[in-house]
Structure 1
Amino acid sequence: MNADATLTESEERTSSDFDDDFEPLDIAGAPELPDARYLDRELSWLAFNQRVLELAEDPSLPVLERANFLAIFASNLDEFFMVRVAGLKRRIATGLAVPTNVGRAPADVLSDISQAAHELQERHARAYQDLVRPALAEAGVRIVGWHDLGEDEQERLDDYFAAQIFPVLMPLAVDPAHPFPYISGLSLNLSVRVRNSRTGRQEFARVKVPQMLPRYIKVSDAETVDDARYISLESLIAHHLSDLFPGMDVLDHHVFRVTRNEDVEIEEDETENLIKALEKELLRRRFGPPIRLEITDDMDDVTLGLLVRELDVTEQEVYRLPAPLDLGGLFDIAKIDRPDLHYPPHVPTTALQLRPSESNLDADVFSAIDRRDVLVHHPYESFATSVQSFLEQAAADPDVLAIKQTLYRTSGDSPIIEALIDAAEAGKQVLALVEIKARFDEAANITWARKLEKAGVHVVYGLVGLKTHCKLALVIRQEKGELRHYSHIGTGNYNPKTSRLYEDMGLFTADGQVGKDLTRLFNELSGYAIEKKFKRLLVAPLHLRKGLLKRIAQEARNAEAGKPSGIRIKVNSMVDEAIIDALYRASNAGVPVEVWVRGICSLKPGVPGMSEHIRVRSVLGRYLEHSRIFSFHNDGEPEVFIGSADMMHRNLDRRVEALVRLTDRGHIAEVGANFDKAMDDGTSSWWLGADGVWTRHSTDADGGPLEDLQNWLMQQIGQRTRTGTRR
């Protein structure tokens, strides 16, 4: 490694050494922290989804991107109900303790969540009807109803319905011979009231909208991509209900949708076979109790009463909304090939140190890492020419003896999976630590874990009671008769698809100490326990929170002693009370604290006597901010960590997480410059107030747009690739 670019051996302090040096902070005369010092995490999550909605409402964004944000909002809210709301209701119903850091009764918190969710869903529907749909139409993308079509167009769609849709529909009657059917979670359904033309008896029926068919159908193939109309699948089915109920009079129909509890709970210590237990639990998930009923606002009281009674939902759980329901279907519209209605294309660059030389079309990743630590920033820098290339070269390199990797979320057709299979088939030792409990990816993870096993990969599933969430890869290579360790520690999943959408960072290093740390950690993950301390890593669940708390305390001590101080933290979620309280105490000691958070934040900034030195910002945009960064001034010798851990109980107590300390001064400066830009008042962002309200700052005093952080990073990273220099 380049000694000039890194901390010298004498300047370095290992994580282990640091932990032996410091005691928890105890400031004499410091004020007691008030009881009401946290924001409710569930309401904070809803505030995050409101920020997503505000992007959909923003007329300055390309309209298909606005449609995409509407779909993201809908998908996010579905998961919120399936997991968070479902978990709260289950614990209340079973009498289990409900964790709440706001000192309020769980039922009251649930009521607040319901009220906020109702308001947001109504705003979401209005954003589509009043803002996005008209803007789409103005751009030539029109979503129409049956009666907007001409006779020839209706005849064409009649034929399409008969050939492509009618054969897969399954109308289900409800009468004494036919009990009320099971309504699957998140399915779109038509409630239909029909009358027997001979007896005059009215009956209820349900028609499920097939989820495998396109949600929006192009009216005519003759229409151009620049001027096209689309009709929703449920509208097309609704017009042809008489074909489904011959001999009956169709009196009325309405659309409804049910959300069920789809969280998974496994008592690992009571089962010997985790995969079998998980497969059983996934089957049970399909039949979880309903927790939300969405209906179109034209539904009559008789039909609603039937649904409420049969589904056993409360009035609070009913969401009456204008059609269409399930705006997640707009993902299909957002994929329309209209470059003028999307963000300008961005092609990731190859990280400067990983670029091939003029004499070699393929870069030697190992030589590059051996020369100097490499920090990559996705999606601005390519995942394919860094992480993917690292593993593919390792699989093909005859000098590589072993590959060890954690896998949390990826895809079955991923080149990462293929590289591990190729390595195993080439006779290398390959260990894949697969987290099959990754929420909503469990079934997929089981499938490709078995694929790896069949190829000869050693597949293990981590430690009982802990999710393995850290993002680690270790390659052991024989060089000149010695074994060298090449490591990658990242903030995001080994997933080529999401790497193009998620903002993440990753460190490649040939540092022997990191290699030894990872070797021990992998051995412990495939064995029985996690050791307490590592040299250049902070590892949860035993050590990560403690290591951060001690560094926060040291910044407070430095401030008390009149020394420069500062704390910067970037996370997806800031919930952990111990970390928040430590930041409050550091603020009281005079430490400037900057928190850059994407989603949930239970910390209250700017409260006199508690957090007046804390600022909280949120950046949302084209890419999903996903990296986690922890930076401490450390009296002029900054300590900066990156990794996979959010400041939540589950990450710090129930997951294996890892942070790695950066030592290259250029990397530390780069992270600092990114933070400077994110927290700058001239950068577009949301600011959190002490009252828990997020305020968007996107224009200057003259109404002009503030600078977009992600656009700035594209320009900065693109420029250094062109000029051959890093910041």
Structure 2
Amino acid sequence: MTLADFLTADFPEPQLSDGDMTGPSRFFNRELSWLGFNWRVVEEAENTRVPLLERLRFLSISATNLDEFYTVRVAGLRELAREGRTNPSIDGLSPTEQLELIDLDARNLLARQQKVFDGLRAEMEAANIKILERDDLTDEDRAHLKDVFFNQVFPVLSPLAIDPAHPFPFLPNEGFALALELERTKDKRALRALLPVPQQVDRYIACPSTDCLRFLPLEELLIDNLAGLFPGYKVKGSCAFRILRDSDLEVEDEAEDLVREFETALKRRRRGEVVSMRVSSGAPKGLRQLIMDELHVTEAEVVEIDGVIGLADVKELVLDDRADLLWPPFAPRVPERVQDHDGDMFAAIRQKDMLLHHPYETFDMVVRFLTQAARDPDVVAIKQTLYRTSKRSPIVEALCEAAEDGKSVTALVELKARFDEAANIRQSRRLERAGAHVVYGFLDLKTHAKISTVVRREGDQLVTYTHYGTGNYHPITARIYTDLSFFTCDKALGRDATKVFNYLSGYVQPDNLENLSISPMSLKSSLLKMIAAEAKHAQNGKPAMIWAKMNSLVEEDVIDALYAASQAGVKISLVVRGICGLRPGVKGLSDNIRVKSIVGRFLEHSRIVCFGNGYGLPHKKARVFFSSADWMGRNLNRRVETLVEVNNNTVKAQIVSQIMAANLADVAQSWIMGPDGSFARAEVEDGTFAFNCHRFFMENPSLSGRGSAGAADVPQLTHTED
């Protein structure tokens, strides 16, 4: 489907629903929708158009995703169910009902992951990458592995007997261990023991070979060396198991020292209750029951795995030296505008507002913006939000350098960024040592907005240069996440950003924002007003359209507003990567709404919304916004988020006619959502061209970076590789 086809095609014939669409049935369950997204990730691991090791990476991602889902979402539902809570989700299901549906779907997903891995393993072996078993080892292998074991593994092992003198040991979240039934040779005395598999050692150990790549799983190496770990004993039975613990954080409402309180909470997380245990099939019954009893795990929380436990670790086998089995190399572009000014970010921004589309345009420009600010003697102040960033963050390096140089540096570090709390605590300590003013925002609100301001003395004036983003200031994830970075020295946008920072540091609620809406105060109400305005245009016979792109859509009021707009005649096209609680294509409810999800080489992460404004889409008079917020209750009601309106005509055209047009026209990586919440791959006829938006963005520079390809080019592109 070309963009022209998409824009002129009639919406699919709406379907009747069996449920009452005035009640909870008008929503689809959030947790089941998330599992549906992970099914799409697994199915991408089966997509033969994707290079082999990239398919293995998709499988690893799906396993990591599912682990996190259990440690946060399932853990929370389980706690509600244990407390006897029956409060339904927006689709009418109680916590217990949700857990039952999740368990059924997740078990099927775990089984599918193993089946996919078996297929990938066979293909890898055909491509000369072999995953060995102990029976496959040669004498040369054993000599090599003996050296590896005693020099790299043995020093970090802790074999643990289990008896009255040695109580069952603590295993952390994602702890992986071998459980053993042993018998002493001299007197037949039984011993039970645990051998935790060390997380500090690679899961897959390379074995020597001249003609292929060969790897032995670490647990196989351990089993092969049990005689040396338990001399005088022989193994009578064994199994492997892995646990997932409740990883949600609880922080006291009146925490006087937020950093210290989070450090304490992180220690509590490590000791959270076990929410799921994966155990190898065929485990000895007594050993299995002992583990369950000691970990306080019920049968319903145990999943038997006939295959590899901990598939997330197969990412180690995505090998750089097998480039033939990876995506073709791609080097992000430096925008021509920046090159025209010899790398001077301030000069490029002064010329005109600039929107970069990561990872197609390099995130190094964001780093350069702050590094240049740190070293520029005319810069007097820098303010920065930090939600997630890398361990050796060049952003933090630049802020520290600026502070040490005497510039005024304010860093808003969000301690509540899930699973990055410890890293953010370390970064905040470092910034404070450098002399930066570090603030932590609000205890009851996460600061998820992505804003940076640089105040520079130019002549007798102070000029504010502002960066607004949809993604994190994280140079590693910026290589694979699609996000927007907007640079401007527009005075109104600079004033808006300064007011937000004053709110974050001094609790001064911003008023009279000029181009910005923020949650929890005005973002949701602004969205609802603009959706209603579009419905009014439809009722008045004007062209009425909404295009939006986000990661998740579950906020009840927003979904109902979209339903009302659909019934008024607004044509609504949504690109929702992950969770979607809206049911599209239901007769009388959402006839004019269609939803698609894109899962491909890059992780879709940017948030965009475009309103036809009485002119339709694409149109130069449309209203265009980008945001840090998904359309979820937490983003719109319990976080500090931004919604930025774009007024620069080139940037507007870039978002509407380039970015959104290509996303909507994509076929190669698209899944179409049905009224029942299911997703089906977009249909591609054999041998026909299937437009791939990621390929388009890799080949065409952004408009505001001085590129020229837009909506008219989308259907005309030739394509050599899906």
TM-score by length of 2: 0.92
The within-5 A match list for 1:137-536 is 137-220=125-208, 222-223=209-210, 227-267=212-252, 269-357=253-341, 362-384=342-364, 386-531=365-510, 533-536=512-515
Whether the 8 Å CA contact 1:187–1:257 is kept in 2: the answer is yes
Letter in 2 for 1:374: M
Structure 2 residue 81 is the aligned partner of structure 1 residue 92: yes
d(CA) in 1 for partners of 2:90, 2:508: 30
Cα distance change on mapping 1:581 and 1:98 into 2, 3 Å: same
1:529 and 1:264 mapped to 2: Cα distance?
27
- Aligned-pair CA distance for 1:168: 1.9
Q: Which runs of 4+ in 1 moved over 6 A?
A: 718-721
Name 2:12's counterpart in structure 1. Answer: none
Query: Contact conserved, 2:85 with 2:95, CA < 8 A, in 1?
Result: no
Q: Say if 2:161 and 2:192, in contact at 8 Å, map to a contact too.
A: yes
Aligned to 1:661: 645
Distance (whole Å) between structure 2 residues aligned to residue 642 and residue 465 of structure 1: 25
Q: Which residue of 1 aligns with 2:525?
A: 546
Match of 2:17 in 1: none
2:249/2:265 contact within 8 Å kept: yes
- Whether the 8 Å contact between 2:654 and 2:703 is mirrored in structure 1 is no
Summarize deviations over 1:71-116 as a string: whole Å, max 9, x none. Answer: 1011111100000001111122234565611112220111100111
1:43 and 2:32 matched: yes
Q: Deviation of residue 57 (structure 1)?
A: 1.0
- Structure 1 residue identity aligned to 2:117: Y
**CA–CA separation in structure 2 for the residues paired with 1:680 and 1:376:** 21
RMSD of aligned C-alpha atoms? 1.7
Is 1:573 the counterpart of 2:552? The answer is yes
* 8 A contact 1:524–1:531 mirrored in 2: yes
Displacement of 1:530 in angstroms is 2.9
Partner residue, 2:698: 714
Q: Does 1:117 align with 2:106?
A: yes
Question: How far off is 1:437 after superposition?
Answer: 1.2
Question: Per the alignment, in what secondary structure is the counterpart of residue 389 of structure 2?
Answer: coil
Deviation at 1:724, TM superposition (A): 5.5
2:172 partner amino acid: S
Does the 8 A contact of 2:86 with 2:95 survive in 1? no
Does the C-alpha gap of structure 1 residues 552 and 719 become closer, same or farther in structure 2, counting only changes over 3 Å?
A: closer
SS of the counterpart of 1:508?
strand
Residue pair 1:349, 1:718 contacting (<8 A) in 2 also: no
Question: Quick one: which of 602, 610, 623 aligns to 1:639?
Answer: 623
1:402-429 superposed Cα distances (whole Å, 9 cap, x missing partner): 1111000112311111111111111111
- Between the aligned partners of 1:435 and 1:412, the Cα distance in structure 2 is 15
Which shows bigger deviation, 526-535 or 148-157? 526-535
1:89 alignment partner AA: R
Contact kept, 8 Å, 1:532 with 1:542, in 2: the verdict is: no
Q: Secondary structure at the match of 2:614?
A: helix
Question: Does structure 1 retain, via aligned residues, the 8 Å contact 2:356–2:702?
Answer: no
Deviations 1:43-83 (A, max 9, x none): 10000011110111112211110111111011111100000
Q: What is the Cα deviation at residue 681 of structure 1?
A: 6.6
For 1:544 and 1:551, the matched residues in 2 are separated by: 11
Checking the alignment, whether the CA contact within 8 Å between 2:78 and 2:95 is kept in structure 1 is: no
Counterpart secondary structure, 1:355: helix
Looking at structure 1, the residues matched to 644 and 134 of structure 2 have their Cα atoms a distance apart, in angstroms, of: 58
User: Is the Cα contact below 8 Å between 1:168 and 1:210 reproduced in 2?
Assistant: yes
- The secondary structure found in structure 2 opposite 1:634 is coil
Distance in 2, matches of 1:297 and 1:680, equals: 45
Counterparts of 2:702 and 2:510 in 1: how far apart (Å)? Answer: 41
The Cα of 1:335 is off from its aligned counterpart by 3.4
**Counterparts in 2 of 1:47 and 1:502: CA distance versus 1, 3 Å:** same
Stretches of structure 2 lacking an aligned partner (at least 5 in a row): 1-19, 616-620, 711-722
Opposite residue 316 of structure 2, the aligned amino acid is D
Give the secondary-structure state (helix, strand or coil) at the position aligned to 2:429. helix
When residues 265 and 59 of structure 1 are mapped into structure 2, their CA distance, relative to the original with a 3 A threshold, is same
Residues 532, 261 of structure 1: alpha-carbon distance in 2 compared, 3 angstrom cutoff: farther
CA distance in 2, matches of 1:60, 1:505: 27
Contact 1:569 1:629 in 2 (8 A): yes
2-side partners of 1:438 and 1:710: how far apart?
A: 28
CA spacing shift, 1:299–1:32, aligned 2, 3 Å: closer
Distance 1:254 1:703, change over 3 A: farther
Counterpart residue number, 2:97:
108
Q: CA 1:177–1:709 in 2, change beyond 3 Å: closer, same or farther?
A: same
Q: 1:23 maps to which residue?
A: none
Tell me, what secondary structure is at the counterpart of 2:70? Answer: helix
C-alpha contact (below 8 Å) 1:677/1:683 kept by paired residues: no
Letter matched to residue 352 of structure 2: R
Tell me the CA shift for residue 253 of structure 1: 1.6
- Residues 338 and 345 in structure 2, CA contact (< 8 A), matched pair in contact too: yes
1:11 corresponds to which residue? none
* Corresponding residue number in structure 2 for 1:556: 535
**Match of 1:615, SS?**
strand
> Partner letter of residue 73 of structure 1?
S
Preserved CA contact (<8 Å) 2:552 2:580:
yes
Q: For residues 98 and 338 of structure 1, what CA distance do their matches in structure 2 show?
A: 51
Task: Report the 3-state secondary structure (helix = DSSP H, G, I; strand = E; otherwise coil) of the residue aligned with 1:575.
Answer: coil
Q: 1:33: which partner in 2? A: 22
- Identical-pair percentage: 44
8 Å Cα contact 2:59/2:113 also seen in 1: yes
Q: Determine the structure 2 residue equivalent to 1:135.
A: 123
- Per-residue CA deviation, residues 199-254 of structure 1 (Å, 9 max, x unaligned), is 3232221101111111111111x435xx2111010110011111111111211221
Match of 2:609 in 1: 630
Amino acid at match of 1:90: E
The letter for the 2-side match of 1:254 is C
Q: TM-score, normalised by structure 1?
A: 0.92
Partner Cα distance (1:483, 1:646) in 2: 34
Q: Is the 8 A contact 2:654 2:702 kept in 1?
A: no
| 2:9 aligned partner | none
SS in 1 for 2:26: coil
- Does residue 693 (structure 1) correspond to residue 681 (structure 2)? The answer is no
